[in-house]
Amino acid sequence: MSRTLHLHRVFRAPPNRVWRAFTDADALAKWLPPYGFTCTVHELDARVGGRFRMSFRNFSNGQAHGFSGEYLELVPDSLIRYTDVFDDPNLPGVLEVTVTLRPVLCGTELKVEQAGIPEPIPLEMCHLGWQESLAQLATLVEPDIPG
């Protein structure tokens, strides 16, 4: 069984705004954690070879899990490729995430591929988490707030 997830969404926002939401620490902390979680970004160096480190905390029970990774490829407004490694030794391996952005008539088409998901993580839960995160991303990038 493939441990790879594919997601697709169209945002009513330009690619540069969606790109910025993936490469800005404050933005990531706002939209990336699924419902019921908070996020702390401990480090974010959005450049090829740069690293990030963050943790999600379950708001209900206070339990946290950390993860980190390295940026492998960055093409402004169109491509982000990075690794993800969980701190928890029960979630072994290195995930690789590829995010592609493409301008479309009504905004930006986003495609996400997340490969190497550890066996203990149910794929449907991973998919649900991404759906929640992308819904929150939409609320961040879609409003056009005048200057």
The verdict on residue 55 lying in a domain is: no
Containing domain of residue 98, as a range? 5-35+72-141
Residues 6 or more apart in contact with residue 20 via CB below 8 angstroms: 27
The verdict on residue 79 lying in a domain is: yes
pLDDT tens string, the chain, 147 residues long: the values are 579 999 999 999 999 999 999 999 999 999 999 999 999 999 999 999 999 999 999 999 999 999 999 999 999 999 999 999 999 999 999 999 999 999 999 999 999 999 999 999 999 999 999 999 999 999 999 999 888
The verdict on residue 10 lying in a domain is: yes
Contact (Cβ atoms closer than 8 angstroms) between residue 4 and residue 123: no
- What's the CATH code of the domain at 9? 3.30.530.20
The verdict on residue 98 lying in a domain is: yes
DSSP characters over 58-99: ETTT--EEEEEEEEEEEETTTEEEEEEEESSTTS-S-EEEEE
Total domains present in the chain: 1
The verdict on residue 63 lying in a domain is: no
Return the DSSP state at 143.
-
The verdict on residue 22 lying in a domain is: yes
Distance CA 129, CA 54 (A): 16
The verdict on residue 146 lying in a domain is: no
Nearest by Cα to 32 from 120, 97, 102: 97
The verdict on residue 122 lying in a domain is: yes
